[in-house]
Structure 1
């Protein structure tokens, strides 16, 4: 089997392993050191390129026709300013169905997020588990079904906790563009799903 070429970076087992190490919480320097112990000598820049270019290629998103989906948002700091990360998780498969960053939170961003989610997945028979009336209003606007739920929707809270633990290992706040943060979160969600 030949390696897959993606944006001038080959998807080899060593490079995929490096991306996976980094996604699980190792810094680039820790990843470099682990691979050095295994006999792979590369520059810090090479590891940086592998992680950013290879991770960008991602995986094909899973097809989903979820029955119960937990939706929520959490505050994240980007360049010292607050943004809100919206996410949805399929309760049955535990797959992250989508993530999106917004400059504010409330009914309008919730409706925009749910609309985008409905474009990606068949939500005709889906019941959304939410924790607030802003989400219920957004669901009503879009003709989607939802319930207030504070138990099953804990899956999305757990995912936010895992994400924040991963980020806080390196920073209190992201530094970079909104787009680069969003890209990293998408990569993290793909890693989590696969």
Structure 2
């Protein structure tokens, strides 16, 4: 199961994983492998190692509708700390994401690195967080991570088809776990 999950998260399609496992005498359907990935309920585990955290959001598609992927990356280790998928991007969803992030990590002394997105800076300022609007430098960590996620979803034309929001969220968290395992 672990090999199948790692192969899929590494970029192989479910059918490719099924064929790959057959070479080792393991006969599993692509549906079974899909179920392994989602039942594993993988979530990124990391700690904030320094005093900065890169945060961003990106639009992706689910059933032809727009959804917003919010993410936080440690710019020193390139590890994904948290990813969440929301049906909209506004001040409230930004606040929900930051609340989830704060609940998982001690962020009292962290400076958030953000771009000039409509909601991140204003919400951080209003809620009393330290932040810096920056387009380069340490903030590039999250741009690289989002680029990797976008590459992984490009096989689906940047659209998860026939997948519920919860399944897409689980998949993104599993990708984060895989990504973090390669950063050590």
TM more than 0.5: yes
Residue 41 of structure 2 is aligned to residue 41 of structure 1: no
Q: 1:135 aligns with which of 120, 141, 145?
A: 120
Structure 2, unpaired ranges of 5+: none
Q: Normalization by structure 2: what TM-score?
A: 0.87
Q: Normalization by structure 1: what TM-score?
A: 0.83
Question: Where has structure 1 moved over 4 Å in runs of 4 or more?
Answer: none
Aligned twin of 1:178: 165
CA deviations on 1:75-122 (whole Å, 9 max, x unpaired) are 011111111111010111221111112222133322221122111101
Structure 1, unpaired ranges of 5+: 1-14
Change (3 A) 1:154 1:31: same
Structure having greater relative contact order (Cα 8 Å, sep ≥ 6)? 2
Compare CA radii of gyration and give the structure with the larger one: 1
CA deviations on 1:109-140 (whole Å, 9 max, x unpaired) are 22221122111101111111111163221111
RMSD: 1.9
Aligned twin of 2:151: 165
Give the 5 Å matches for 1:44-83. Answer: 44-53=30-39, 55-56=40-41, 58=42, 61-83=45-67
Q: Matched residue pairs, number?
A: 178
